[in-house]
């Protein structure tokens, strides 16, 4: 998942997570050390509020000067490029504080950052619905036709104008005012929704009979309570490992109920209100639905194409899912004679236990071969070989929490500095709850020089415990490769303008570069490089175990992709509905229809579905849509070599460096040497 920055074109409800570093990149080509501060995190009480207020005021002053330029004198540089710069500067100066909303160890600072985020989201909506600014852009476009503009300049003009139109600037004043007000309300709801999940501290107390089957290594990570009980939180790290291993069905059910009711009272209402606001906004903007509005300028192009795409998968996946579910039920009957159904709280447990039985795969045993430091270092070597870069840890850097690390990205060829990125892998209270790549500062031209990007992976992998280091499951290694793919997209950018920089691409393409890179963790030679037992790094993942892992890759994929389809159809249905609806009831209806399993009646899953309020609204289909292109891009590496540096550099230059400087379809065609197709995607799913 990506969290993109707010620039002139990414202003609609997407939270900005950029930083405001004052440091220039190291002048020396040698690794830096000793307290380097790349982003500030130790804000004093009230400081974030002052920064936000003063920077918005400063931007208003600059925008006023831009508008005052005479019509005759307005041109590309002083108006269109200037707007991009003003908005990007504002992001650079405020998004450091906003980033604290997701990572700060201080609850009071997180609350201040949340408030700042909400105010900025509303501010950007206001900017992009200003008619005087839009008129200035249109006039500058007319005047610039006499200039010899480069393709990237023309692309910026196109995207900026689209951005204004998407915000209703062509509407009559009364309707425009309504759209602006509704969007600002929506931005506030989305911020509150995410904050409620970040701050959620729900847990279930599990007694001795509840923890039967939980490995000692997992128990050691749960907080021990009095009376032999354990505190199992609803954070993904705890939740997944408990649901995979706990033999006690009642305990699993209790934890799943708790998990699917996170912030239920608050967030169900916020989501319901947001859907209604979106429906009203779409209507005012002349669209049939919010899905039609959101897809108009994406690769899909329309809601009807999204619908056709999802429906085309529905029947094909139903057969795969039916077979997978039959296997789970047969296994359940073998340990529980008389069992007639697979319950919602059974699926994860049965799938994991069946995988262990049929493939003799134990995630806890596999985890021992992926200690965090070893695996991350080896991953860097793989990316380095493919993309022609190297990664240097900045020792002693000033960071916001223990275990956070700062790295430089440098070109291997000449050791030139490229970017900074952070890794923040260990769970803690109040932290962003899933895995995402945050753009902390976008690469762009500033005063004739390239401003180096900064990003951060924020994830919640298993923390060190006792004498054991942090260790990854193979699934977490795959997540690591995925998120680091986003980091490369964000930091290797060479786009001239912030609006076109890094992962600021079409939402239904943004996952493709990272999804492609997940394939590397299924290659035997790569797995050997990534692994090294935590007690003896020279002991690599055994060949026999690797064969079993690869053989098991296709296991239960019908259920996995059916789940992705469920989320995509749920999101699409929410945002094409013509009237009011109950998100929880709709989800349960689709859940039953697609999985054929009866849902938990007392839960409210949509309240914890952060994507719906985090920029993926009417866009969750993009995970499946973009995988079509991910698997198609992978065919080049698959045929020419996973570590082929020439193909890697072509990929870097054609896809990663370009950002949104050209439409995604054109970038794909250049890299592939042909029009993209879906053959590799359907082959991966094992369906005809």
Structural domains of the chain in order of their starting residue, each with its CATH number: 2-198 (1.20.1050.40), 203-259 (no CATH)
Give the lowest-confidence range in 56-60, 80-84, 219-223, 284-288: 219-223
Measured at the alpha carbon of residue 587, what is the angle toward residues 584 and 593, in degrees to the nearest 5?
145
Question: In angstroms, rounded to a whole number, what is the distance separating the alpha carbons of residues 183 and 281?
Answer: 7
What angle, rounded to 10 degrees, do the helices at 236-245 and 347-359 form? 60
Please give the full DSSP string across 486-505, using - where no structure is assigned.
Answer: HHHHHHS---SSGGGSTT-S
Place of tokens 């945050």: 438
3 band by pLDDT with thresholds 50, 70 and 90:
low
* Average pLDDT rounded to a whole number, residues 525-539: 97
Q: Answer whether 224's CB lies under 8 Å from 235's CB.
A: no
Structure-token match 């000449």, residue found: 414
pLDDT in tens, 167-197: 999 999 999 999 999 999 999 999 999 999 9
Structure tokens at 167: 């915000």
Handedness of CA 539, 543, 547, 550 (dihedral sign): positive
Name the helix (H) or strand (E) containing 94.
helix 82-103
pLDDT of residue 18 exceeding 60, the answer is no
What is the spatial distance between Cα 297 and Cα 621, in angstroms, rounded to a whole number? 15
Q: How many helices (H) and strands (E) does the chain have?
A: 25, 11
For the ranges 72-81, 311-320, 679-688, the lowest mean pLDDT is seen at 679-688
Pull the structure tokens for residue 170. Answer: 């062509």
State the pLDDT confidence band at 688, using cuts at 50, 70 and 90.
low
3-class SS of residue 371:
strand
Provide the pLDDT confidence category of residue 453 given band limits of 50, 70 and 90.
Answer: very high
9 pLDDT more than 80: no
Cα separation, 435 vs 475, whole angstroms: 12
Is 247 in a helix, a strand, or coil? coil
Q: For the chain, what percent of residues have pLDDT higher than 90?
A: 85
Burial of residue 123, with CB atoms counted within 10 A of its CB: 0-12 exposed, 13-18 middle, 19 or more buried: buried
| Strands 417-424 and 454-458, bridge-based pairing | parallel
- DSSP SS3 for 71: coil
Specify the residue for token string 């050997």: 528
- Distance, CA of 591 to CA of 597 (rounded, Å): 7
List helix spans (H) across 445-556. Answer: 474-491, 512-517, 524-530, 543-551
Structure tokens at 670: 């250049």
Residues 6+ apart with CB under 8 A from 257: 600, 602, 603
pLDDT band at 684 (very low <50, low <70, confident <90, very high): confident
| Selection from 82, 92, 93 nearest residue 160 by Cα | 82
The per-residue pLDDT for 465 is 84
Name residues whose C-beta falls within 8 Å of residue 195's C-beta, 6 or more positions apart in sequence: 101, 110, 111, 114
Whether the pLDDT of residue 687 is over 80: the answer is no
pLDDT reported for residue 473? 93
* 383 close to 530: Cβ distance less than 8 angstroms: no
DSSP result, 570-607: HHHHHTT-SS---HHHHHHHHHHHHH-SPPPTT--GGG
Residues marked active site are found at 483
> 179 and 279 in contact (C-beta within 8 Å)?
no
Q: Residues 608-663: pLDDT tens digits?
A: 999 999 999 999 999 999 999 999 999 999 999 999 999 999 999 999 999 999 99
Query: For residue range 234-273, what is the model confidence (pLDDT) as tens digits?
Result: 998 899 999 999 999 999 999 999 999 999 999 999 999 9
Across the chain, what does the average pLDDT equal? 92
Nearest to 364 by CA among 437, 472, 469: 472
Residues 6+ apart with CB under 8 A from 462: 221, 237, 367, 470, 471, 472, 476
């Amino acid at each position: 998942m990506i969290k993109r920055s707010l620039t002139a074109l990414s202003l609609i409800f997407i939270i900005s997570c950029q930083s405001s570093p004052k440091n220039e990149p190291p002048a020396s080509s040698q690794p830096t050390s000793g307290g380097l501060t790349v982003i500030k995190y130790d804000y004093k009480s009230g400081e974030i509020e002052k920064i936000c207020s003063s920077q918005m005021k400063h931007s208003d002053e600059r925008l006023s000067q831009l508008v005052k330029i005479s019509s005759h004198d307005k041109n590309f540089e002083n108006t269109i490029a200037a707007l991009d710069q003003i908005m990007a500067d504002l992001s650079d100066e405020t998004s450091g504080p906003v980033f604290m909303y997701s990572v700060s160890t201080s609850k009071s600072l997180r609350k201040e950052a949340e408030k700042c985020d909400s105010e900025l989201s509303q501010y950007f909506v206001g900017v992009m619905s200003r008619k005087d600014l839009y008129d200035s852009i249109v006039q500058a476009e007319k005047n610039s036709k006499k200039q010899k503009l480069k393709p990237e300049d023309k692309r910026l003009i196109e995207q900026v104008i689209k951005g204004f139109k998407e915000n209703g600037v062509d509407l009559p004043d009364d309707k425009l005012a309504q759209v602006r007000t509704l969007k600002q309300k929506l931005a506030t709801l989305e911020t509150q929704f995410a904050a409620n999940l970040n701050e959620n501290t729900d847990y279930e107390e599990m007694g001795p009979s509840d923890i039967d089957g939980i490995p000692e290594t997992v128990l050691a990570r749960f907080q021990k309570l009095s009376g032999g009980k354990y505190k199992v939180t609803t954070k993904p790290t705890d939740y997944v490992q408990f649901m995979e291993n706990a033999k006690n069905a009642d305990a699993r059910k209790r934890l799943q109920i708790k998990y699917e009711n996170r912030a239920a009272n608050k967030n169900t209402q916020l989501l319901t209100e947001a859907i209604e606001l979106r429906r009203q906004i779409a209507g005012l903007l002349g669209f049939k639905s919010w899905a039609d509005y959101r897809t108009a300028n994406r690769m899909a192009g329309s809601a009807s194409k999204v619908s056709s795409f999802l429906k085309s998968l529905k029947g094909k996946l139903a057969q795969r899912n039916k077979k997978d579910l039959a296997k789970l039920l047969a296994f359940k009957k073998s340990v529980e004679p008389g069992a007639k159904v697979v319950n919602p709280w059974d699926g994860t447990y049965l799938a994991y236990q069946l995988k262990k039985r049929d493939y003799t795969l134990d995630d806890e045993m596999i985890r021992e071969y992926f200690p965090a430091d070893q695996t991350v270092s080896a991953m860097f070597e793989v990316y380095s070989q493919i993309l022609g870069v190297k990664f240097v840890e900045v020792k002693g850097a000033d960071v916001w929490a223990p275990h956070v690390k700062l790295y430089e990205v440098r070109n291997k060829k000449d050791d030139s500095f490229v970017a900074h990125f952070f890794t923040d892998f260990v769970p803690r209270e109040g932290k962003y709850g899933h895995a995402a790549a945050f753009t902390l500062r976008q690469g762009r031209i500033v005063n004739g020089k390239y401003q180096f990007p900064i990003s951060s992976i924020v994830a919640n992998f298993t923390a060190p415990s006792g004498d054991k280091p942090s260790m990854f499951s193979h699934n977490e290694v795959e997540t690591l490769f995925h998120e680091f793919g986003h980091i490369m997209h964000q930091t290797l950018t060479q786009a001239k303008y912030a609006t076109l920089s890094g992962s600021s691409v079409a939402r239904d393409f943004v996952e493709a570069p990272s999804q492609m890179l997940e394939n590397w963790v299924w290659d035997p030679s790569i797995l050997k490089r990534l692994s090294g037992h935590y007690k003896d790094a020279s002991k690599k993942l055994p060949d026999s175990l690797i064969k079993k892992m690869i053989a098991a890759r296709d296991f239960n994929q019908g259920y996995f992709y059916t789940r992705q389809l469920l989320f995509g159809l749920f999101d699409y249905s929410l945002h094409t509905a013509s009237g009011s609806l109950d998100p929880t009831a709709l989800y349960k209806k689709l859940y039953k229809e697609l999985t054929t399993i009866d849902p938990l009646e007392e839960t409210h899953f949509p309240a914890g579905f952060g994507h719906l309020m985090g920029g993926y609204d009417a866009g969750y289909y993009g995970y499946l849509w973009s995988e079509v292109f991910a698997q198609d891009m992978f065919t080049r590496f698959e045929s020419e070599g996973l570590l082929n540096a020439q193909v890697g550099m072509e990929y870097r230059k054609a896809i990663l460096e370009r950002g949104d400087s050209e439409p995604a379809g054109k970038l794909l065609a250049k890299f592939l040497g042909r029009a993209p197709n879906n053959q590799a995607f359907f082959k991966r799913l094992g369906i005809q």
